Amino acid sequence: MNKQPIGIFDSGVGGLTVFKEIRKLFPFEDIVYFGDTARVPYGPKSPRTVVDYSIQNARFLMQCGAKIIVVACNTSSAVALPELQKKIPVPVIGVIEPGSISAISATINNRIGVIGTEGTIRSKAYADAIYKIAPDIQVFSQACPLFVSLAEEGWEDHDVTKLVIAEYLENLLTKNIDTLVLGCTHYPILKKPIGDFAGSNIKLVDSAEAVTHQLLKILPDPETEVNGQDRFYVSDNEQKFMKIASRILEKEIKNLINVKLGESWYIS
């Protein structure tokens, strides 16, 4: 059995929503997670910058022995996946394709909404992935940058969050969508208030859940008695990461290490 870890990276702490789903489905795998907390957010940055950061992150995970890399960050997946797949010598999977496939299976009226960071929405990555598989489907997109801060503040039940959700989603909901893709690591944290506003007729697609099903196809979890080990790395601000991580994972995390950016990250 291959005891090398699954590598996961994100621009910061939000990718723990993906970690959580992967850990549920793969209890026996070792997992190494890297959150680029020194350079978060990726959402407003240019594609070139996000590609550079993503390659560095993936190379760092390779140094940690990753046998496969999951790009938890939707913004990285949207703009950097082809470059990562070219440059990184292990399988690299992102969240856009799995999220799109789940949305296509969920829609009945062929009208899908996608929400994400500015970078993800600007890239049209979800729309392109959906049209490629199902050209008859109409996709309506909306960037919701403030959701990231609201999720990090833990304001799932706050009135401010309800107002911001209404502001971003009001127009999208006039498009008669029946499916809404939560195309950002942080949005599953706001699933309840988003669902309350959208109403029970709209199915929410969580890209964090969707990617684990793709991973299961590539990496069937081997039978074993030994639970997998977790290792977490961040590039800055461990305290803040710890605090938000304990809310997302509903437990304290151990094995958190701060790594410095620099040449030592590179394996070649």
Judged by the rule CB under 6 A, the positions of this chain that interact with ligand DGL are 10-12, 14, 40-43, 73-75, 117, 120, 148, 184-186
| Closest distance of CB 166 from ligand DGL, Å | 21
Nearest residue to 119 via CA among 203, 42, 175, 189: 42
CA angle 200, 203, 205 (to 5 degrees): 145
73 carries an active-site annotation: yes
| Closest distance of CB 6 from ligand DGL, Å | 18
What is the C-alpha separation between 62 and 74, in angstroms, rounded? 20
β-pairing verdict for 6-10 and 31-35: parallel
Q: Which is nearer to ligand DGL, 101 or 115 (CB)?
A: 115
From edge to edge, which strands make up the β-sheet containing 203-206? 138-143, 111-116, 179-183, 203-206
Whole-angstrom CA distances from 173 to 13, 96, 169, 223 are 29, 22, 6, 45
Q: Which is nearer to ligand DGL, 1 or 74 (CB)?
A: 74
Catalytic residue among 62, 130, 151, 184: 184
Return the structure tokens found at 266: 């590179």
| Closest distance of CB 44 from ligand DGL, Å | 7
| Closest distance of CB 41 from ligand DGL, Å | 3
Q: Which is nearer to ligand DGL, 53 or 140 (CB)?
A: 53
64 carries an active-site annotation: no
Q: Which is nearer to ligand DGL, 148 or 253 (CB)?
A: 148
Give the residue numbers annotated as catalytic, written as ranges.
73, 184
